[in-house]
Amino acid sequence: MEQGQLRIYQLQDGKYQAVQTSLHFPNFPIAAVLPQFLDRCAQEVRRQALKAFRQWVQQQAPEVD
């Protein structure tokens, strides 16, 4: 993270390119959300921040049949 921003890079044609989404989390706005939760960890008890992050991920995940 640099100045409160998370940057995601992807190897494309032998060079790393900045991208908006992660290959591992294509439907989650990780770069926008993760810094908020990391800031929250610094301000709250770590356990509470991790619980909030888990709940957010569960809300974003599609239902599994």
Residues 7-46 pLDDT 10s: 889 999 999 998 888 888 788 777 777 777 777 777 777 7
Q: Tell me what pLDDT residue 50 has.
A: 81
CA angle 21–47–49, rounded 5-degree value? 40
**Quick check: 7 and 21 in contact, CB under 8 A?**
no
Give pTM, 2 decimals: 0.47
Q: How confident is the model at residue 4 (pLDDT cuts 50, 70, 90)?
A: low
Considering only residues 6 and 57, tell me which one the structure prediction assigns the higher pLDDT: 57
Whether residue 1 has pLDDT greater than 70: no
Q: What are the DSSP calls for 21-53, one per residue? A: S-SSSTTS-HHHHHHHHHHHHHHS-HHHHHHHH
- The residues, any chain, with a CB within 8 Å of residue 62's CB and separated by 6 or more, are 27
Structural tokens at position 33: 């959300």
